[in-house]
Amino acid sequence: MSLTDATIAELHELAGRYPQSRSALLPMLHLVQSAEGNVTNEGIEICADILGISAAEVSGVSTFYTMYKRRPMGEHHVGVCTNTLCAVMGGDVIFERLKEHLEVGNDETTEDGKVTLEHIECNAACDFAPVMTVNWEFFDNQTPASAIDLVDKLRAGETVQATRGATITSWREAERVLAGFEDGRADEGPAAAGPSLVGLEIAAERGWRAPTAGDTKKASTSSKVEADSKVEAVEKADTSRAETETKIEESPADTAKEGDDD
């Protein structure tokens, strides 16, 4: 497959959105994935040409970040968080069950091309552990049974909604959104809910608030004053120690001892 003229025009459009065009590389790679199903050699060459950088630099970026894929992806990317908290809350078991159920290993795609399974690192959703993602939409508080039900629905082509409301599209469509081309679905589902808001509720009940910029300035001024007075105290202590030492050196006992020696 080759990148179409329309996609190449969109890559140019992305490059033009930034004062330094090379800043567009990350969204451009997402667009290449959306168009071709992964970051292809052709995509790397075209991004490099447009940005005036080397193919090696583009390749270096695309192999550094795990969201860029060098192998063809399935229709859906299914991620299972196996980072510490999710792992102990059941993520490891979910991942093992899904591998058996889908008959794939990590980073592999099912024979029907529907699901690519990957174990992923902490998604900053630990308060909903164990979490999964489908095309980067969250599925909170999962169990092995709910995970298997989810992938079965995806493979059957059923409409699936993330637990926070978003309707699941395909991985390629999600990649196009990540590239910076909106699909009009940004407001589907709440941005934050449940456990994520508990801290805020407790703070509201107790009248706690985040420090303002003014508080921070005051705090840094008072800690500077405190530090200055500590320095002053240390200097005073040094001076008085030096004075004491001088007195000891010049003490009458020493003078008398010197006289005895004579």
- Residues that bind ligand FES in the complex, under the rule CB under 6 A: 81, 83-86, 122-123, 125-126, 129, 131
**85: exposed, middle or buried (Cβ count in 10 Å: 0-12, 13-18, 19+):** middle
Q: How far is the CB of 106 from ligand FES (least distance, A)?
A: 16
Nearer to ligand FES, 57 or 92 (CB): 92
CB atoms under 10 Å from CB of 45, counted, come to 14
Residue in the shown chain whose Cβ atom is closest to ligand FES: 86
Nearer to ligand FES, 37 or 90 (CB): 90
Q: Are strands 115-120 and 76-81 parallel, antiparallel or unpaired?
A: parallel
**DSSP-assigned beta bridge partners for residue 122:** none
Q: How far is the CB of 82 from ligand FES (least distance, A)?
A: 8
Q: How far is the CB of 22 from ligand FES (least distance, A)?
A: 31
In whole angstroms, give the CA distance from residue 170 to residue 193: 25
* Nearest alpha-carbon partner for 80 in 161, 156, 179, 146: 146
* Nearest alpha-carbon partner for 142 in 94, 87, 190: 94
Q: How far is the CB of 96 from ligand FES (least distance, A)?
A: 16
The sheet carrying 132-134 orders its strands as: 108-109, 115-120, 76-81, 132-134, 137-139
Nearer to ligand FES, 12 or 99 (CB): 99
* Nearest alpha-carbon partner for 68 in 79, 59, 78: 59
**Tokens 């589907």, located at residue:** 188
Q: How far is the CB of 176 from ligand FES (least distance, A)?
A: 25
Q: How far is the CB of 89 from ligand FES (least distance, A)?
A: 8
Distance of CA 248 to the CA centre of its chain: 63
Q: What one-letter code names the amino acid at 113?
A: G
Nearer to ligand FES, 83 or 169 (CB): 83
Q: How far is the CB of 185 from ligand FES (least distance, A)?
A: 23
Q: Are strands 76-81 and 108-109 parallel, antiparallel or unpaired?
A: unpaired
Nearer to ligand FES, 82 or 170 (CB): 82
Nearer to ligand FES, 16 or 190 (CB): 190
Nearer to ligand FES, 93 or 122 (CB): 122
